[in-house]
C-alpha cells in the first residue's frame, strides 16, 4: 500500500517540471495576446515604447530591448570565450595539482557570488574605470558586457574544464611521445576530443547571459534608445522587465509579457540545443 502511494507521489513530482514549463509558456502566451494582436510581428522591429496620455493604449515595440540584449550578450561572449578557454586549458594542462585545486575552487566560488553583487561592484568600482579609460557615462553597453563576461567566465570555464578532462591520458601521452608541444596537444588532441562539451558550455553560457537580470540592471543604463556607440546606455529585456513590469498597465503590461515570452522561448531553444546536441547528459548546468 505504502509502496504504491510512494511511487505515485514520486511520479507526480517528476511530472512537475513538465507542467511548469508548459504552464510558464501558456501563461506568458495568454497574457501577451493583447500585444500580439495589436502589433503582430512588427513588435520585433518597432523602436517606440510610448504610452498614450490616457494610459490605455500606445505604441510598444521590442526592438530596443531586443537589440540591447543581443549586443550586451555579444560583447560578453567576445570577452568571455577566450578567457574561459584559457582558464580551462590552464586547469587541465598547465597547473600542477597544488595550484590547480585552489584555482578551481576560486573559479567555482566566483560562479557562486550572487549576480546582484556583480552589479553593485560593477556600478561603483568598474563603471568609473570604464568611464575614465574609454569614455561615456560609465554605465552603458560596454560596462554591462564586461561585467556580464566576468559573471559567465567561471561557469563556462568549469564546464569546459570537465569536458577537457575527459580526454583519455593515452591519447595525450601518444602525442607528447611524438614530440608534440603542449599547445599542439591542446589544439590537435584535446580540443577535437572535447569539442562537444566546449561548444555546449559556450552555448549554455550564452543562454545565461541573455537572461541575466541584476548585474545588467545596474550597469546598462536602462534607457529606451538604440545605442549609437559602444559606451552608450540602452536597455535589455530582463532589465526592462525588472524596472518597469510591475508598474505597467493594460497594453504596456501585455507587451511586457510578450517580451518575457520571447526571452523564454529563445532561452529554451538555446539551452535545449546546448544540452541535447552538444552536451548529451554528461554535463550539468
Partner 1 sequence: MNRLILNKIILALSTLSAVIGIGFLFWILATLSYKGITSIHWSTFTNDLVAGGIRNLLVGQFTMALMASAVAVPLGMMAGIYLREYGHGSKLASVIRNLSDVMMSAPSIVIGVFVFALFVDPFGGYNGWAGIVALAIMMIPIIISTTDNMLSLVPTELREAGMALGGSKHKIIMQIVVKAAKVGITTGVLLSFARIIGETAPLLFTSANNQFFTMDLTEQFPSLTVSIYNLATYPDLESRELAWAASFILTVIVLCINLIGRYAIRNKK
Site for partner 1 in 217-246 (CB under 8 A): 217-218, 238, 241-242, 245-246
- In the complex with partner 1, which residue's Cβ is closer, 47 or 188? 188
* 120 lies in the binding site for partner 1 (CB under 8 A): yes
* 153 lies in the binding site for partner 1 (CB under 8 A): yes
Q: CA-CA distance, 256 to 234, in Å (whole number)?
A: 17
Q: CA-CA distance, 216 to 141, in Å (whole number)?
A: 9
Query: Please, which of residues 52-81 interact with partner 1 by CB under 8 A?
Result: none
Which of 145, 154, 197, 233 binds partner 1 (CB under 8 A)? It is 154
Give the three cell numbers for residue 237: 529585456
Q: CA-CA distance, 39 to 33, in Å (whole number)?
A: 10
Which of 56, 86, 168, 226 binds partner 1 (CB under 8 A)? It is 86
Stretch touching partner 1 by CB under 8 A, among 44-52, 60-68, 166-174, 176-184: 176-184
Which of 90, 137, 191, 196 binds partner 1 (CB under 8 A)? It is 90
Give the gyration radius of the chain's Cα atoms. 22
Which of 127, 141, 159, 204 binds partner 1 (CB under 8 A)? It is 204
Which of 45, 109, 174, 195 binds partner 1 (CB under 8 A)? It is 109
Q: Could you tell me if 148 and 73 are in contact, meaning their C-beta atoms sit under 8 angstroms apart?
A: yes
The alpha-helical segments, DSSP class H, found in 134-224 are 141-165, 169-177, 182-185, 191-211, 214-219
Q: CA-CA distance, 201 to 284, in Å (whole number)?
A: 10
* 260 lies in the binding site for partner 1 (CB under 8 A): yes
* 27 lies in the binding site for partner 1 (CB under 8 A): yes
The single-letter DSSP state of residue 222 is -
Amino acid at each position: 500500500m505504502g509502496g504504491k502511494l510512494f511511487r505515485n507521489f514520486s511520479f507526480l513530482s517528476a511530472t512537475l517540471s513538465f507542467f511548469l514549463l508548459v504552464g510558464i509558456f501558456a501563461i506568458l502566451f495568454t497574457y501577451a495576446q493583447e500585444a500580439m494582436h495589436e502589433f503582430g510581428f512588427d513588435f520585433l522591429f518597432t523602436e517606440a515604447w510610448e504610452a498614450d496620455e490616457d494610459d490605455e493604449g500606445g505604441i510598444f515595440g521590442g526592438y530596443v530591448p531586443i537589440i540591447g540584449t543581443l549586443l550586451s550578450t555579444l560583447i560578453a561572449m567576445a570577452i568571455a570565450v577566450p578567457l574561459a578557454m584559457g582558464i580551462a586549458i590552464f586547469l587541465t594542462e598547465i597547473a600542477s595539482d597544488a595550484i590547480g585545486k585552489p584555482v578551481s575552487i576560486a573559479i567555482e566560488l566566483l560562479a557562486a557570488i550572487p549576480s546582484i553583487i556583480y552589479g553593485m561592484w560593477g556600478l561603483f568600482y568598474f563603471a568609473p574605470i570604464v568611464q575614465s579609460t574609454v569614455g561615456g557615462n560609465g554605465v552603458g553597453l560596454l560596462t554591462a558586457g564586461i561585467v556580464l563576461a566576468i559573471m559567465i567566465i567561471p561557469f563556462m570555464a568549469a564546464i569546459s574544464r570537465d569536458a577537457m578532462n575527459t580526454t583519455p591520458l593515452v591519447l595525450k601521452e601518444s602525442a607528447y611521445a611524438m614530440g608534440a608541444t603542449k599547445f599542439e596537444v591542446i589544439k590537435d588532441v584535446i580540443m577535437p576530443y572535447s569539442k562537444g562539451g566546449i561548444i555546449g558550455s559556450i552555448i549554455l553560457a550564452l543562454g545565461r547571459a541573455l537572461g541575466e537580470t541584476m548585474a545588467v540592471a545596474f550597469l546598462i543604463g536602462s534607457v529606451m534608445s538604440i545605442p549609437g556607440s559602444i559606451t552608450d546606455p540602452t536597455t535589455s529585456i530582463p532589465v526592462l522587465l525588472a524596472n518597469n513590469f510591475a508598474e505597467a498597465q493594460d497594453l504596456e503590461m501585455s507587451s511586457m509579457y510578450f517580451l518575457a515570452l520571447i526571452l523564454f522561448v529563445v532561452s529554451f531553444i538555446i539551452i535545449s540545443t546546448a544540452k541535447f546536441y552538444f552536451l548529451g547528459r554528461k554535463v550539468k548546468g
